[in-house]
Chains A and B, each alone.
Chain A
Amino acid sequence: MRRAWVATVVVYTAGAAACGGGDVVKPRAPEVARAVPTSVCSPMTYGGEGSPNLLVPLSGPLQNANSDHGIQNAQAVKLVLQQRGWRAGEHRVAIQVCDESSADEYVDLPKCERNARAFARNPSVVAVVGPTFSSCAGSMLPLLNGAEGGPVALAGTGNTYLGLTRSGPGVEKGDPDRLYPTGRRSYFRTVAADDAQAAAAVLVARRAGARRTFAVHDGEAYGEGLAGAFEATARRAGLTPVGTARWDGEARGYRRLALQIRRRGVDAVYLAGFVTSNGPRLVRDLRAGLGSRVELMAPDGFNQPTALVEGAGERAEGLTVSLAAAPVRALPAPGKRWSAEFRKRWGASPCCYASTPDR
């Protein structure tokens, strides 16, 4: 790793000498790609002719509950590179797959930082695909943006936290500016942000004929942001948001919360947060207290249908969950064709890479 940097500095210096001492040193592409340490990533993979000269690492969760995201993203990236002969124009591109999770944590932020440092130090790395989790992107971005060899582009695969790019409801103080120490943007979001999910819930409520809405959140930044965006969007859309409340993820039940909402004459409730914040119990008690005519809607933090159905039973019926991607059947023709190729190559439909399963 350190040797790779020395080699690059030599190349830059030679260029400066050739151009005259006063000229600006212009970086050049590496001639041979070097791997980042395999203690944090898989070995470098390359299937083309000769040796690769550039490296694009992929960050994704390879352990824990969301490992299907990391595995399928890696499979998708390999398929695309195979289809293109491991080339991008005149460049020969290798990949390395790097884990952003651990056995105990669905997202391991110290590991995200270690990965980002390794990418930033390696001059072969010209862009990073991933990570899957917004918080991992938030850990990686300042390190990649401030890299000594220039900002490294980061193309996130599933990041919905609005504060990675903008201000708005739920965005932590200092974001997004603190993520870009050079002042130059270097992040590219490939899915819709949380404010679009909140707006989609408002559209679902309006379509169902709802007029009075209520938002509950779990006290996490994600949930608070979504609740704030839902309330603001509901107002813009001509609905009447009548309140917001926090649900305690440690509570034994939510009958009193349901009663509080019922007294407000509400037609639709947005559950802004994670299913892991006692979500199945919340759904069960709200449905029991509000009845089947009230719309219950939730963001992608509730995308664990098995846990919901096991925990809430029949009371989970009718709950709407949004995801920031399109199912394969809604993709344009090139997306459908590529999904078929993915299925043929890997034996499963793409679950998590810019599309969701046809369920």
Chain B
Amino acid sequence: MMTVLDAIAGSDGTRAGVLTNLRRANVRGGLVGDFRFDRFGDSTLTTIATYRIRGGRLRNEQTLEVPRDLLTRR
């Protein structure tokens, strides 16, 4: 929502203006870190958290940024 509001703030209040600003968004110090959207609309962050069931509960084990060379997107 913050990124959307930032895009609206810098726009003329039209759909085209908001869209242009979202495409250009370059978030620094954001809640989930630094990121932007690539030309397809994907965040440059690839954050995945893994959890393991232990003692009958799902417990966080690690949080990782997946290296881009392991992604299978085309």
Interface residues of A (CB under 8 A from B): 27-30, 53-54, 56, 76-77, 80-81, 84, 87-91, 93, 125-127, 129, 147, 149-153, 155, 162, 164-169, 176, 184-193, 195-200, 202-204, 228-229, 232-233, 236-237, 303, 305, 308-309, 316-327, 329-332, 334-335, 338, 354-356, 358-359
A309 to B58, CA, bound (A): 10
Q: Cβ of B7 and Cβ of A192 under 8 Å apart?
A: no
Return 14 A-B CB contacts under 8 Å, by A number.
A87-B9, A89-B9, A129-B1, A155-B4, A189-B41, A190-B3, A192-B66, A193-B42, A316-B56, A320-B50, A320-B52, A321-B58, A323-B50, A359-B58
Size of chain B's interface in residues, with CB distance under 8 A?
59
Q: Cβ of A359 and Cβ of B57 under 8 Å apart?
A: yes
A286 to chain B, nearest CB (A): 14
Q: A236-B70, A332-B33 in contact; A322/B56 too (CB < 8 A)? A: no
Contact of B43 among A176, A190, A197 (CB under 8 A): A190
Q: Cβ of A326 and Cβ of B50 under 8 Å apart?
A: no
Q: A88-B9, A335-B31, A359-B59 in contact; A151/B72 too (CB < 8 A)? A: no
Residues of A within 8 A of B55 (CB): 317
Q: Cβ of A88 and Cβ of B5 under 8 Å apart?
A: yes
Residues of B within 8 A of A186 (CB): 19, 41
Q: Cβ of B18 and Cβ of A188 under 8 Å apart?
A: no
A62 to B73, CA, bound (A): 32
Contact with A along B20-33 (1 / 0, CB 8 A): 00110000011111
Q: Cβ of B13 and Cβ of A330 under 8 Å apart?
A: no
A76 to chain B, nearest CB (A): 7
B54 to chain A, nearest CB (A): 7
- With both beta carbons as reference points, the residue of chain B lying nearest to A337 in the complex is identified as B31
Q: Cβ of B51 and Cβ of A127 under 8 Å apart?
A: no
B28 to chain A, nearest CB (A): 10
- With both beta carbons as reference points, the residue of chain A lying nearest to B45 in the complex is identified as A192
Q: Cβ of A153 and Cβ of B70 under 8 Å apart?
A: no
Q: Cβ of B40 and Cβ of A330 under 8 Å apart?
A: no
Q: Cβ of A91 and Cβ of B49 under 8 Å apart?
A: no
**Majority SS of interface residues in chain B?**
mixed
Q: Cβ of B7 and Cβ of A127 under 8 Å apart?
A: yes
Residues of A within 8 A of B71 (CB): 193, 195-196, 199, 233
A185 to B52, CA, bound (A): 37
Residues of B within 8 A of A147 (CB): 15
Contact of A28 among B7, B12, B51, B70 (CB under 8 A): B12
A147 to chain B, nearest CB (A): 7
Q: Cβ of B49 and Cβ of A325 under 8 Å apart?
A: yes
A305 to B57, CA, bound (A): 7
A321 to B52, CA, bound (A): 6
- With both beta carbons as reference points, the residue of chain A lying nearest to B60 in the complex is identified as A327
A77 to B73, CA, bound (A): 30
Residues of A within 8 A of B49 (CB): 322-323, 325-327, 330, 356
- With both beta carbons as reference points, the residue of chain A lying nearest to B55 in the complex is identified as A317
Residues of A within 8 A of B7 (CB): 127, 153
Q: Cβ of A354 and Cβ of B48 under 8 Å apart?
A: no
Q: A323-B49, A354-B32 in contact; A166/B70 too (CB < 8 A)? A: no
A323 to chain B, nearest CB (A): 5
